[in-house]
Amino acid sequence: MTHEVKKLIELIWNAQKKGVKSVIATVVELEGSSYRRPGVRMLIQDNGKTYGAVSGGCVEKEIQIQANSVFRNKIPKVIKYDGRLRLGCEGIIYILIEPVIITNELNENFKIVFKNRIPFKSVSFYSITEEESEEFGTEFIFSGKIFSLNKNFSHSKKTKSFQQKFNPLFQLYIFGAEHDTVHLCKAASKLGWQVTIVAPPDESKTEKYFEGAYKFLTPPYEKIDTNPIDSHTAVILMTHSLIKDLKYLLSLSDVKPAYLGILGPQNRRENIVEKALDFNPNLSIEFINLIRGPAGLNIGAESAEEISVSILAEILSVIRKQKPIHLKEKSGRIHD
């Protein structure tokens, strides 16, 4: 959800400079099941614009109506939405609606944590009764520093609290610059991931070719900066050249990404790993076991677009620690 918060803060900050007021709606508690989990947010502005959603579309209109009083009196409120009575859903959600002011200091702190990939937290204070109260509101916490979204906010011991941790923005490093890279880059950016394209030094394409790319790099193989690749990063090798994939793999031997995949059939993976060990016999078993090839889930993907879905689905299953199955075969709730 980090990318959603980043986008909300940017929208609120830009709106403030134009004199547009903003309200944020946050799902703070859930009974039963719902389309999304607690912590999801929606932005409402007094010019009628909205961003984000807290459900599949059934609650958003009501939130816009309920936000009117928050705009008028600047007092946060909690509303309850019982999906069992209205649309046959199986859950009750509690939503905190609060006015938001982003101070210069808060905005700078957000820039720092996003740029430097620093985790941060938020705490939302609320009750499960539908009411207005200046004791409701949200605080963001950066390395011990606490910032409130509402200058009049002052919580008490009577309120409940919902805490949320935000990891660094998830990254996807794509090594390669062929046609299928374009589709994977575009699809991953739609998920809110920061996509870095690392192309061979002799590549003639530019960043404009890759819609949604955050960075486009063409370093020599021996000078690739792997420092940004961390545990919140997925890596995919898809140059369509065994030699180039091999060179990139060797340059990544010291990193521990959340996911490392190689495009192509299984024997291609084995071939690359075998040659990599010839060049560097000290490659760790842990690193070798991290390599997934062929990259992607078996969904019958054929086109570049479908292969992108297959790869992204596998990455999500790995980072969410889920075994891919049909949802109809899953017992209990969709979201554990």
Percent of the chain, pLDDT > 70?
Answer: 94
Q: Please report where in the chains the tokens 């709106």 appear, as a residue.
A: 15
How sure is the predictor about 85, in pLDDT bands with cuts at 50, 70 and 90? low
Q: What is the pLDDT of residue 173?
A: 98
**Reduced to 3 states, what is the DSSP secondary structure of residue 201?**
coil
Q: Please report where in the chains the tokens 């890596």 appear, as a residue.
A: 235
How sure is the predictor about 326, in pLDDT bands with cuts at 50, 70 and 90? confident
Mean of all residue pLDDT scores within the chain: 91
How sure is the predictor about 84, in pLDDT bands with cuts at 50, 70 and 90? low
pLDDT tens-digit map of 243-263:
999 999 999 999 999 999 999
Q: Indicate whether 193 pLDDT > 80.
A: yes
Q: What is the pLDDT of residue 331?
A: 73
Q: What is the pLDDT of residue 34?
A: 64
Q: For residue 228, what is the DSSP state?
A: T
Concatenate the DSSP letters of all residues of 123-190 into one string. EEEE-SS-EE-TT-EEEEEETTEEEESSTT----TTSEEEEEEEPPPPEEEEE--SHHHHHHHHHHHH
Q: How far apart are the first and last CA of the chain?
A: 16
How sure is the predictor about 54, in pLDDT bands with cuts at 50, 70 and 90? confident
Q: Which comes out higher in pLDDT, residue 188 or 36? A: 188
Q: Indicate whether 2 pLDDT > 90.
A: yes
Neighbouring residues of 122: CB distance < 8 A, sequence distance ≥ 6: 5, 138, 139, 140, 141, 163, 164, 166
Q: What is the pLDDT of residue 160?
A: 92
Please state at what angle helix 266-279 crosses helix 242-251, rounded to 10 degrees. 50
pLDDT tens-digit map of 100-142:
999 999 999 999 999 999 999 999 999 989 999 999 999 999 9
In 10 A of CB 71, how many CB atoms? 15
Q: What is the pLDDT of residue 105?
A: 95
Tokens of 87: 């649309």
Domain ranges of the chain: 2-166, 171-319
Q: What is the pLDDT of residue 58?
A: 73
Domain 171-319 has CATH 3.10.20.30: no
How sure is the predictor about 335, in pLDDT bands with cuts at 50, 70 and 90? low
Tokens of 279: 């060049």
Residue 10 CA, distance from chain mean position: 15
Q: What is the pLDDT of residue 33?
A: 64
Q: Which residue type does 112 have?
A: I
Q: Is the dihedral of CA 294, 300, 303, 308 positive or negative?
A: negative
